[in-house]
Amino acid sequence: MSDHVNGGPAFADFPSSFKGAVVRPGDEGYAEARKIPNARHDHLHPAIIVRCTDADDVVTAVKYANEQNIAIALRGGGHGIDGFAMPDGAFVVDLSLMKGIAVDPDTGVARVEAGCLLGEMDAATQEHGLVVPSGTVSETGVGGLILGGGLGYNTRRHGMTVDNLIAVDVVTADGRKLRASAEENADLFWGLRGAGHNLAIATSFEVQAHPIGPEVTSGLIIYPIDAAVPILSQIDDFMASTRREMTVYPVVLPAPPLPGLPEQLVGVPIFVLIVVYTGPLDTAEEEVAKVAALGQPMANMVRPSTWMEANSILDVLAPPGRRQHSRGGYLGGITAEIAQIVVDHVSNAPAPTGPGPSCAVAFPAMGGAADDFDEDATAFSRVGAKWLWEVLGQWDPPESDAEYDGWVDGVMDALKPHSLRNGYVNLSTDQGPDWLEGLYGSAEKWNRILELKAEWDPENRLRHNKNVKVAKATATA
């Protein structure tokens, strides 16, 4: 699709009743509107970006797409690693201006619009001493995070975000507004919790928040790289015995510049435990000491903090504006062999191309409360998973693409034989239809997702994503 149609601007007949901004290549605001965190996609230029102000604007955009028989790309936070939010030549429905948040302090229910970022949701709920179990990078869009599962520092205490989702307001692919919950459109609600990016356009979410903070305990415990295998070899037993309020998030990486880290360690492979403890403050020192005792730390920077500080620790590892590539999978446990694979690859990572972090392999913790929920209750799958592994490469010059791609994919190839077939859709670039089918855990669940796709998006309007394909799909790109 070109930027112009029949010699005029692309989609020149887009309805004037649309209340938000409409931008095309060359328009003021277009360059800013098309920018997403992964700079690898900076060369992509959508034909038009329609910036919605409310659900009625989304309806207008969807009905227009149906009239034109075109596919719809969705932009929330734009954090998705594949760049599906801004495809070249595409019709983009931008939800990022829809930032309403309302919190009921009595029930803990938060209503969050689809354009909100995780840090914005945290700020609103923390005004009432509440937290929605969600992700770990404050600039992540809540929409994609929730629809894909939602994994973070409170997963072990309160489950995934989809486990705390009460209802979703959506605009369907044929332009209707409706609500999905356990009581209304329950089958759609099942699918939205894990595969929702394929089924409808979520415009707002009702989620259950829980009393946490503002005071918590968090920070980094830094060990030499040689400690990684011994510590990771015992981490499963430790997590099985520790309180659910304790989350330990291991990371192996060449050290980036971190507050309090000696300058001579920058660039040297290290092993880090990110520690977030949301239990009683008077027990924090004892619980953190148990973590530190897993090895001999070079530095222990865990301290009293606010929840907002704790849930932005990882921001330094995922700054926007750099080129990025990632892969990931589930693990049933971390063995010495898995740990050694990671240490070997990080020790041979490409040289940094800038001052920020370059390469990392992280192990977000699952288990705990995440295991309390029925595997078949949602499209999202977590059966057997105690850890997620994610490998991330970040660099600046395009000429380094092949080197970093090779490194990231090399880690994936080495860890794939140790990984479960099911997985977490948000934390990897697309690995193809067989991989996508496997993510959902069983043939029965996958077939149910296919049936929902055929019912709710038979023309595959919502195709700029890790796409569930069904036989009937006539929308053009």
Which 8-state DSSP code applies to residue 20? Answer: S
Structure-token pair, residue 165: 């989702």
Same domain, residue pair 143 and 75 = no
Helix (H, G, I), strand (E, B) or coil at 177: strand
Q: What is the pLDDT along the chain (477 residues), one digit of tens a residue?
A: 444 443 346 899 999 999 999 999 999 999 999 999 999 999 999 999 999 999 999 999 999 999 999 999 999 999 899 999 999 999 999 999 999 999 999 999 999 999 999 999 999 999 999 999 999 999 999 999 999 999 999 999 999 999 999 999 999 999 999 999 999 999 999 999 999 999 999 999 999 999 999 999 999 999 999 999 999 999 999 999 999 999 999 999 999 877 667 778 888 999 999 999 999 999 999 999 999 999 999 989 999 999 999 999 998 877 889 999 999 999 999 999 999 999 999 999 999 888 778 999 999 999 999 999 999 999 999 999 999 999 999 999 999 999 999 999 999 999 999 999 999 999 888 999 999 999 999 999 999 999 999 999 999 999 999 999 986 545 555
Of the three residues 176, 211, 246, the one that is the final residue of a domain is 211
Is 107 a domain residue?
Answer: yes
Same domain, residue pair 259 and 286 = yes
CB 188 within 8 A of CB 378: no
Beta strands in 209-260 (DSSP E): 210-211, 215-224, 246-254
Q: Output the domain CATH number for residue 303.
A: 3.40.462.20
Same domain, residue pair 89 and 195 = no
Q: Ramachandran region of residue 316, left (φ > 0), alpha (ψ -120 to 50) or beta?
A: alpha
Is 75 a domain residue?
Answer: yes
Q: Please give the pLDDT value at position 256.
A: 83
Is 473 a domain residue?
Answer: no
Residue type, 278: T
Same domain, residue pair 420 and 323 = yes
Of the three residues 61, 94, 127, the one that is the final residue of a domain is 94
Residue type, 316: V
Same domain, residue pair 270 and 372 = yes
Query: How many structural domains does the chain have?
Result: 3
Is 432 a domain residue?
Answer: no
Same domain, residue pair 250 and 363 = yes
Q: Please give the pLDDT value at position 1.
A: 40
Is 437 a domain residue?
Answer: no
The residue with tokens 């404050």 is 138
Q: Please give the pLDDT value at position 48.
A: 97
14-66 pLDDT, tens digit each:
999 999 999 999 999 999 999 999 999 999 999 999 999 999 999 999 999 99
Is 76 a domain residue?
Answer: yes
Is 148 a domain residue?
Answer: yes
Q: Output the domain CATH number for residue 83.
A: 3.30.43.10
Same domain, residue pair 244 and 136 = no
CB 197 within 8 A of CB 462: yes
Same domain, residue pair 277 and 141 = no
Of the three residues 44, 61, 94, the one that is the final residue of a domain is 94
445-472 pLDDT, tens digit each:
999 999 999 999 999 999 999 999 986 5
pTM: 0.94
Domain that holds residue 85: 4-94
CA distances from 407 to 60, 391, 415, 427 (A): 44, 9, 13, 17
CA distances from 170 to 52, 132, 464 (A): 14, 20, 18
> Whose CA is closest to 36, among 329, 318, 345?
318
Same domain, residue pair 66 and 132 = no
Q: Write phi, then psi, for 246 (nearest 5 degrees).
A: -100, 125
Which 8-state DSSP code applies to residue 430? Answer: -
